[in-house]
């Protein structure tokens, strides 16, 4: 199968504008956030090509500057998936991997894992990854997206709230038989589904949670979820940014 990774990259961000190409990150780590993401993805064994999809000339120039492949897209897209779909229409590929531009710790092995998860599960049109939540702070943080699975490892729902809710007043993390899962920012799509998915209107659940994967679930599509021990933390806030720089310095 021909598998291509695409990194949606917009400049605007309500909480941390221009975060993907902040000079302070390059000064501290030697690379921009987006450059970390690109270099990790291009090392994946299952990937034949990595493309950044952006609506920003600033990002376009930065990617060209570090030797990456980049395509300009419409400024009208409201989600990363829609941005990727514009690029996909011109590509010959079987599977598309959506690697989030603000996930600099998403390793090449995790890119391969999500690709293999989709290829090996014929009933799924999408695949993604999750890891166990170990602290109550993570569980209560709306920036940490949670997912619950059915008995076959397919997503039942994604939420910014705690799911499942433990009713009887116990410490949720210590509840026997329940694993709370943190969704990781990476997806694999079958190409034909991705083009169809981008044409579907946003759903009420998607709009409420601001989670685009709920568009697929709301329309009855299956998302296979592989659970991994590895953690990749997305950068949403300045606190996230400083924490990433500190981890990088100590690795």
What is each CA distance from 9 to 70, 109, 162, 205, in whole angstroms? 10, 21, 28, 24
Residue 125's pLDDT is 94
Residue 13's pLDDT is 78
- Output the CA angle 98-107-14, nearest 5 degrees: 55
Structural domains of the chain sorted by starting position, each given as residue range(s) with its CATH number in brackets: 3-250 (3.90.550.10)
Q: What is the pTM of this model?
A: 0.92
Under the banding of pLDDT at 50, 70 and 90, the label for residue 40 is very high
Closest CA to 95 of 78, 77, 117, 72: 117
Report the pLDDT averaged over residues 97-110: 95
Asked if 201 contacts 220 with a C-beta cutoff of 8 angstroms, the reply is no
Residue 12's pLDDT is 84
User: Which residues are 52's β-sheet partners?
Assistant: 7, 70
What is each CA distance from 55 to 23, 102, 214, in whole angstroms? 19, 15, 24
Say yes or no to pLDDT of 119 above 90: yes
Residue 46's pLDDT is 95
Q: Which residue has the tokens 């970390």?
A: 36
pLDDT in tens, 215-232: 999 999 999 999 999 878
What does the alpha-carbon distance between residue 186 and residue 71 come to, in Å, rounded to a whole number? 20
pLDDT in tens, 190-205: 999 999 998 999 999 9
Under the banding of pLDDT at 50, 70 and 90, the label for residue 73 is very high
* Six token digits for residue 141: 């943080």
């Amino acid at each position: 199968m021909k598998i291509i990774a695409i990194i949606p990259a917009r400049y605007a961000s309500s909480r941390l504008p221009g975060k993907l190409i902040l000079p302070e990150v390059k000064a501290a780590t030697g690379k921009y956030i987006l450059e970390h993401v690109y270099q990790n993805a291009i090392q994946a064994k299952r990937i034949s090509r990595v493309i950044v999809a952006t609506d920003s000339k600033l990002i376009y120039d930065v990617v060209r500057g570090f030797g990456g492949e980049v395509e300009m897209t419409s400024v009208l897209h409201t989600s990363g998936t829609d941005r990727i779909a514009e690029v996909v229409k011109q590509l010959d590929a079987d599977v598309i991997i959506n690697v989030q531009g603000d996930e600099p710790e998403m390793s090449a092995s995790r890119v391969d894992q999500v690709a293999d998860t989709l290829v090996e599960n014929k009933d799924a049109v999408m695949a993604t990854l999750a890891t166990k939540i170990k602290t109550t702070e993570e569980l209560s943080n709306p920036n940490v997206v949670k997912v619950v699975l059915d008995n076959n490892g397919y997503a039942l729902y994604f939420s910014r709230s705690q799911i499942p809710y433990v009713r009887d007043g116990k410490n949720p993390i210590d509840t026997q038989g329940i694993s709370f899962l943190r969704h990781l920012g990476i997806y694999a799509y079958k190409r034909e589904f991705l083009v169809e998915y981008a044409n579907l209107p946003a759903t009420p659940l998607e709009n409420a949670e601001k989670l685009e994967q709920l568009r697929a679930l709301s329309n009855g599509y299956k998302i296979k979820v592989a659970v991994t021990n590895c953690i990749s933390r997305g950068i949403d806030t300045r606190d996230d940014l400083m924490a990433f720089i500190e981890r990088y310095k100590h690795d």
